[in-house]
Structure formats: structure tokens, C-alpha cells
A and B are shown apart, each in its own frame.
Chain A
């Protein structure tokens, strides 16, 4: 009788699998790790699904989680049922954004080398994550880490927006207060990036809970790297999201490195994905250089989140071709050869281009003319942003609180006096109003 009940219980725990033409989600579970279970259920409140066993066995590992893939290295779809049914326009838009991001990265990286902006971080090798942005609804709210500019690009953040932020000029949405690449946009539902890693994770859980309460059919998308997943905030976020049933997708970009630290020194388990299961979270690992694998998995994850209020962990396997940032020379800790291998043999842009060309949706000619025109656009935005003044110096003191308290008003006044007394000491000409509106 107990066996019957147990089977019934296990089945009832599994929701019916929604089959779709684009994606078939299959739930798997590592069952019966211990064969020798007695039929008596362990009734301790801490683990209600457990059964007693007489076999003393430590669990060392579970089978490695497979990496879901749609296309092979040559852009060929392996299982035709997994190919997403999308329009040419939709696919080309993703591809164009990948190219644009690549060109923008190149130009801004060089600008930093020339000392024209203070800092930059490129997205080389990870451009396929744009597939995840394409699988979301525009009202889904995004929390990023810092290497997700492509998501903003896909949503419509303009080249001017990017350049203004990196140049900290008067048109920067963030009023020049944060380092370059710390983007944010209210219209595009992209919460402003901050430098402390993983802090956005528990925030994403809370934001998801708020969305759920407000009855919106939306979820939160939260990006982070595999290094960030070692922070305590990762643990608290996944645990809270699971217990509070928050509609949030945790999207881990596992690119093999956290600055110089390889994953071998980051964790000992089966990547980040294996942890999701421990939190009771639906988990999937995907080929992060395969746009359609990322797209399909995100789309299915979104459905789980929005319709069933289940958090999802998605681990996207990729390789950080870029240096960590402009303050880092990655050849100090890895070989050029290794990087070249990934650049040449498994490049998400090349893979996707082959798929497009096989469909006759893209050609050499289109490639060349798009690259030329977008390069021109990026350079235009770049020089436009460079010429603009920095924001008004008053913005140093605003937005600390909703209304400035007296101490901040007094300190603003103090700076005004100082500027009047020692104008030659400050780069006033670069700033809007030259400090006169303080």
C-alpha cells in the first residue's frame, strides 16, 4: 500500500508537461539513488519524501547534467523538432544585434585603450545570450550583472544611450555617477547595473514576488556569472525564490573564468546547474554558444515562471573570449592558443550565421554592407557622445534621498563657494553650466 501511495505522490508532484511545437520540456529526476530502500517512509519533518534504507552509502555525485543543444558547431540543427519556428525578420534581428554588440565592443574597447573612456567590458564569445532576451516579453523585468549589454541592445537601448553612459556625459541616464557599462533603463525594464556581484539575485527574487502579487503575467530575468554564484547572495536568492514560489529565471553565464579564477578553483560540483536541484528549482543546462538552445530554454523557463510561479535556474555554458575588463590582461593566466581555439572553432556568431545562410536568410553581401553601415553608426554615436559636456555639477548632490536634507544642501553650498574661490583648480569648462547652478 505504501508503494502505491508513494508512486501516486511522486506523480502528483510532477506537473503535466506542456508540449509545444517549439520546445518540448522534459523533466528528469535522479530516482532511486539508493536501491536498497525499505518501504517505510522517514517521517521527519525536514525531508518528507525520504525512505529508510539499511545500506550505508554516501552520495558522492549524481550523473552530470547534460548540455542542451539545438545546432552543432556548423549551424546544423541536430533534432528538427527542436528548431524554433521563427520568422526571418526575428532571426536576422538577433543576428544583427550580435554583430552590433561586437562592433560596439571593439570600438569602446579601443577607446578605453586610448584613454577616452575610463573603463570597459566586452561581451566577446558570449553574444548568444541575446537569444534569451528574444525569448522574453518586453514587460519582463531584467536584473543584470554587467556583461549583458546585448540584452539592452535587443530591447532597444540606442547606441547613443550606451555611448552617453560610457562617456558619463550630460545625456547619460545615470547622470555620470557610475562607471562605464553600468547601464539602466526604466522604459526597457532593465534595473540599473551595480558593481557588487550577486547582490541582484535576492533582489530579483523580491521583485518577482512583487510581480506575482500584482497579478502581472510577467517574470524577472536575472543574469549572473558562475563566479558570482559563489557569493552568499546566490544561495539566499535561490532558496527564497523556491520557498516563496517567485516567478524568476536565474540565468547563469558560465564562461569558465571569474577574472583569473578558473571554474576548477570556483567549485567542485557539477557546475552551477547541479545546485538548482538542491534548492528544489527546475534546472537546465544549455549550450551558451547556441542561440536557439538559449532561446528555447529561456522560452520554456519563462512559461514555467509565469504560469506556474516556479523559479528556474538556467546555466548557459560558454567561454569568455574577452579579457575580464580593460583593467585585465587575461594572457597572464591562460594561453592565447586556448582563446584562439574558442574564437575560431566555437564562435556563437559564426554558428548562427551558418544557420541563417543555410536558410538563405543572410549572405556575404548583406554581412559586409551591414557591418560597414553599423560601424559607421557606432562611430557617429561615439563622436557625438564624446563632444557632449559632462552633467551639471549639482547632480553630484541630487538623488541621494528623494529630497536633499540640510547637510547635503550645506555641503553643496560649500562646494559652490570653493569653486568660486579656486576656479582654476577644477575642470569647470567640461561640465554643463560650469558649476554656476550649484
Chain B
């Protein structure tokens, strides 16, 4: 692989942990025993976080970003949608050639996972995962079906809103992020304890993808746009010098 420009190697912007969900969020019950009790040890980034794995097109199959067709070659049942957007960093620059992976339930809200016992049936033609690399401007695109809502055992009658899980890499391991995309107008968003682990409403809105009629294909599929923002990188090379410590 080739080295990208030097600004892809600078120190990482600090993470705003009041913007992200905190670890301990009792409304989401599983977090109660999986949240560290001790304070995180804070540190500026080092080479260990500023470097990261790179992925090439040679690992991708032709249908990897097409969840409608990539399981059996026969189309999955459901509402056909394009999910597209850009991976940016906090300075607004597109992040090219990074790996975006998604996974989701089928149109009935059932996951192809041995631990999911929900009574909605599996779709024999839907596997539920896809992956792609961003283009030179950070753009990405998937074709999939809109996932259904599904119940989960948290409070007695909790239902997850329709959502697609997203895993994204930056150019540094410290930018690694997993999140979930929700759909414009879904009334379950406001009721979801996982969504509401996030304290600020503006942050929640950042996870809601608007309907994008401009990218819909008539008589074929609708579209939703979802931009993903990763931690930025500083561009100064004068900090951190030994004599400055």
C-alpha cells in the first residue's frame, strides 16, 4: 500500500465523551455490569492509535455491498433501499479507502444468528451483512432492504427501532468506531433505551438517516443518506518534540 498524505498520520483529536454515550446507562440493562467503574486513564494519542490497518480492493467480492443479492444470488424480500454517504473526519475531509462493514436484521426484524430466537422467520435469501471501501472522496454505498423493528428483553416491552449496524475504520486504530443508523420518522427511535444512552438530542439526530429522494431509483429502490464522522487529526508536526517536554 502507499502512504497517504502526512495529515493522515497526525495526533488524533480528543474524543468528546459527553457527546458519546457514557458506559453506565441503567436504562440499557446490560450496560450495568459491563461498564467500567473506574475512571478511564486519559492520554494523548501515540503511534499505537495513530497507525492502523489498511484494506485493499482485492479482498472485496463483487456483491459484498449488495445485501439484496449477496447471500444466495436470489433477491431478498423487503423494502429495497440504497444506503449511502461519506466517511469524513471532524475537519470535514473525506476519508478515502477505509473499510465500512454493516449488518442488520431482515425485513421482519429477524437476525441470521443462532442466538436470535424471535418468531419472525428468516428470509432464505438474506444473509444480513455487507462491506465496502470508501472511494477517493470518502463516499460509500450499499444496496439492502430496510430492516424491521424487533423486540428485545430489556424492559418488558422494548422494541428496537429499524436500524443498520455500522463498523468503520479510519486511518488510525484510535478512530475505530461502531454505531447504528436509524431511519427518518421512525417513532420507535425516541423510545429506545439504546438510542437514549446518548444524552444530547443533537447527537441522537446525527444517527438518523434522512430519506434521500435524489438518490432513489424510480421503480427500483428508495435511498437514505448517512454520513459518518471519525475523529479528526491534528496537522502540526511541531508538538511532542522532546525538547518541548
Q: Decide whether A and B assemble into one complex.
A: no
